[in-house]
Every structure is written in structure tokens, then in C-alpha cells.
Amino acid sequence: MMNSKGNAWSEKMAQSYMKSNPDLYERWSHEYGVIFKAMERLWRRTGNRMYFNYIQRNIDKNINESGKIVRGYQVEEFKVDAINSGKALFALFEITGDIRYKKVILTLADQLRIQPRTKEGVFWHKLVYPYQIFLDGFYMWAPFYAEYAEKFNESTIFDDIANQIIVAATHTKDVNTGLHYQAWDEKKEIFWCNKQTGCSHSFWSRTNGWFSMAMIDVLDFFPETHVKRNKIVEIFKNQIEGLIKVQDPGTGLWYQVLDKGDRKENYLETSGSNMFIYSIAKGIRKGYLNKSLLTVLNKAYNGLLTHMVETDDSGMISIKGTCKSASLGDAPHKDSTFEYYVSEPAVADDIKGIGTFILASNEVELLA
């Protein structure tokens, strides 16, 4: 493990968050899963056990002695978001050997085996969103399923993951920009979709971020010889090319609606920017992206630190500018238009902004 620099932003943010949020267990949450993954990455890089202990203590309070999740998980809801916190369990089981962690891993994998799908084999986002693919969900389930496939030697799962990424990318990609729409309705009927294409109407920053992080993380586990591995790399690289074209030239960040930076109602959005920084940094580190993109990366990260990150007199770190939520379909105004996305407020210290900032900073620091 690499030793961390004492002034690393990843650790400063993580330690600020742990100090103000020692308890992270009142529900089984995809948002908590982002924090847990960030803490795991810090533990693996620095060797500092406090990050591992933070994960373990909070996970343990939501798993009973028989290895069941006790708060906020119902398999019958078939929410792919529910898978995300399961990523932390691989490290817990690896280090402790506690069978409870393995039981939860198997429970979540079993959900994916029976998850409802479109005709082309892509998971519904959840049961109450029938026939609908949301790119957000790929980060929640795909890296977990890929790690499960590797750890438990179920190689056919890689075929399934690759097919789902390829099909979803095909349906949601805009060929003119290289950007992706948030969601696609197989029936082409839901009120938020384009009735000709089935896609939602706008390029939301965070959904593109979730998808890029999903692909770069999935590749950590995919066999080098897998016939569709290079196709995933191609989709990832094409998306990054599209994102670079809409990077704000002034700040280096990205807008809430990616291709509408000239609209005054639009705003620079932190969580998506974090995710793109993470994806570009990791893509460079892993050799998927050219090192010439370091210029793009440095501009983005410096812009993030300049415009979105603040430190108070006590040394606590705060990060502003994260869209609180932008779901589709559960209310009539959530219609995927530009007006809807920019109406959702940007807030300070949202957990998604904090977790992805730690992940992004850790990747930047690995390149240093």
C-alpha cells in the first residue's frame, strides 16, 4: 500500500466526514455505499485502519447475527440501488473471514439473478419502474456483480454485465455529442421519454458520471481476454471524449445539464464533476486514456478545489454545489427537461458530493 501525503484532500475530507457523521447505519443506502467505497479505497492506499474500522462498525450495525440486512432492504422491491453498499462487504469478508458478510454478498447476488429485465436482458431500475433502464443504476450493481463473478468464479456473469453495458449505451447515447441520456423506456410510453427514441430528454451530469465510474470500475475485475472487454473500454473512451467537449473553459468543471452551459439557469454541478475527475484520473492511471488528458484533469481538479471546496477555522472541510436529487417519473414535474434538472437545488455537503470527492481526490493523488 502507498503511504498517503499528510495534506491529501481525500483524507482531509474523509476525516471531516467521519468526525461529523460517525454513524452511518440507519438504513441500507446506495448513498452510504459511495462513502464506504471511498473509505475502502483510502484504507487500501494508506493502510490506515481507521477507514476500514469506520466501514465495519457501520455495516455491522445493519447486519444481524444470521447475516441478514436489518434496515432498509427488501428484495421484492428489486432496486438495483440496493446493491451498492454490498461492495464494501468483499473487503470486510476478505479481512475478517466473518461468514455474515459472505451471506449478505450472496443475498445481493441472488437478487440480481432474478432481477426483472428488458427483452434485451438489461435490468429494470426497480420494480415500480417497469421496462426502464437508468444509467445511474449501473454504478450501483455492475462493479459489485463483476467483483462477485471474480471472487466466486462465475465467469458467465461477465457476459451478462458486458451485454447490459453495451445495450444500455447503445440506447442512451447521442451520436452527435457522445453524451448519454439518463434513462430509456423500452415501451416508449412513460411521460418523461421521447416517444420516438424512448430516451429521456436531457444530458444530466451525474447520470453520465455514474455510468463512467461503473465502466472504469467494472474493468478492474473483467478478464483481460474477455471478448467484449475492449468494447466496454471503447464506450468509456467515447463518453470521456464527449465530456471533454462540454467542460467549462473557465472553471474546468461541468454543468448540471452538460451541453447547456450557455443557459443562465444552469449551474456548475459538483458530484458530476467529481465523477468525471475520478473517471479521467483512473482511466489515465490504468492506461485506458492518453496521458495528454492530464491537462483536462488538472484544470478540473484545480477548479473543484477553487470553486467548490471550503475549509473552516477548525479545519473541517465542506463542499458545495451538489444536486440533491434528480429522479424521473415519481412526480409529474420530473419530466427530464432542462427546466426540471436545473430546478433541482444544489446543496452543500450532500453525501454524494462528499463520497465522490474522496474517490476523485484519491485517484488524483494516486497519479501524483
Active site residue ranges: 136
* Beta carbons of 227 and 156 less than 8 angstroms apart: no
Nearest to 267 by CA among 358, 205, 336, 182: 205
One DSSP character per residue, 261-324 reads TTSTT--B-HHHHHHHHHHHHHHHHHTSS-GGGHHHHHHHHHHHHHHTEEE-TT--EEE--EE-
> In angstroms, rounded to a whole number, what is the distance separating the alpha carbons of residues 111 and 113?
5
Q: How far apart are CA 306 and CA 298, in angstroms?
A: 12
Residues ≥6 apart with Cβ < 8 Å to 112: 80, 83, 123, 141, 145
Q: How far is CA 39 from the centre of its chain?
A: 14
Helix 270-286, helix 229-245: angle, nearest 10: 130
Alpha-helix runs per DSSP H in the chain: 9-20, 30-46, 49-60, 87-96, 99-114, 136-151, 156-172, 205-218, 229-245, 270-286, 294-307, 338-343, 351-367
Rounded to whole angstroms, the Cα distance separating 319 from 13 reads: 9
CA distance 20 to 123: 36
Distance CA 343, CA 354 (A): 22
The total of other beta-carbon atoms located within 10 Å of residue 330's CB is 8
- Alpha-carbon distance of 229 to 155, in angstroms, equals 13
Residue 335, number of CB atoms within 10 A of its CB: 18
Q: Give CA–CA dist 152/217, Å, rounded.
A: 18
Q: Which residue has the cell 443562465?
A: 264
